[in-house]
């Protein structure tokens, strides 16, 4: 006699619930050349290099970020990070990625006023091509700005960044990819915004 109890005739075996798959988010890094978009991604991946090669067209990286306990989340988000060249030569490539984005990081160099001025062009393009996407204004290289004299005309203050972000109705973050200051907190905001949204 078998030690296992027989299943009644016609009753199927119980089906184990399928594990939740990580949600996928498409994050596009947009901004002028030399604003440090690639360095931000590398910093998050723990492979920061002092002088990364310029992006040709677009680079794609995959990050897996923990989201914490949430009833609609498996605890991990799969983040597809599209690092888009800021060169006007790749504008058609950039537009294709802009149209598929869930989130944008609009990155500028906080020690370069011209970079701050030009990030407005990227805001205009991304908001036109993907008006429903979340966006963050990101002042990178805050460590370099700290080395500038307080009265330097190149320096972009935190207050200026916050004011511009408020005009656009989006959050503002200051980070340093070189020192990893504020970088993880910035990327964590993508997960937080997704869960709230």
Q: What is the DSSP letter of 89?
A: G
Mean pLDDT of 176-190: 91
| Contacts for 105 with CB less than 8 Å, ≥ 6 apart | 27, 28, 29, 30, 31, 37, 40, 135, 136, 138, 186
pLDDT at 16: 45
pLDDT at 191: 81
Q: Average pLDDT, whole number, for the chain?
A: 82
pLDDT digits (tens, 9 = 90+) for 22-67: 588 999 999 999 999 999 999 988 876 776 777 777 889 999 887 7
Beta strands in 42-133 (DSSP E): 58-66, 76-84, 103-109
Residue 20 has pLDDT above 50, yes or no: no
pLDDT at 102: 95
pLDDT at 2: 46
Superfamily of domain 23-196: P-loop containing nucleotide triphosphate hydrolases (3.40.50.300)
pLDDT at 6: 52
pLDDT at 5: 47
pLDDT at 46: 82
pTM over 0.75: yes
Q: What is the DSSP letter of 90?
A: G
Q: Are strands 103-109 and 172-174 parallel, antiparallel or unpaired?
A: unpaired
């Amino acid at each position: 006699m078998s030690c296992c109890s027989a299943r009644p005739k016609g009753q199927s075996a119980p089906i184990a619930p399928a594990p939740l798959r990580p949600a996928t988010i498409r994050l596009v890094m947009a901004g002028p050349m030399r604003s440090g978009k690639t360095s931000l991604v590398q910093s998050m991946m723990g492979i920061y290099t002092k002088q990364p090669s310029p992006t040709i067209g677009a680079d794609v990286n995959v990050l897996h970020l923990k989201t914490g306990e949430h009833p609609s989340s498996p605890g991990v988000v799969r983040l597809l990070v599209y690092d888009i060249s800021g060169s006007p030569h790749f504008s058609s490539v950039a537009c294709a990625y802009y149209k598929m984005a869930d989130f944008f990081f609009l990155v500028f160099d906080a020690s370069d006023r011209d970079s701050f001025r030009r990030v407005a062009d990227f805001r205009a393009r991304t908001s036109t091509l993907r008006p429903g996407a979340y966006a963050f204004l990101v002042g990178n290289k805050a460590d370099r700005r700290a080395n500038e004299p307080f009265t330097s005309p190149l320096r972009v203050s935190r207050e200026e960044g916050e004011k511009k972000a408020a005009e656009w109705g989006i959050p503002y973050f200051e980070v340093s990819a070189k020192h990893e200051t504020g970088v993880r907190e910035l990327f964590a905001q993508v997960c937080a915004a997704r869960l709230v949204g």
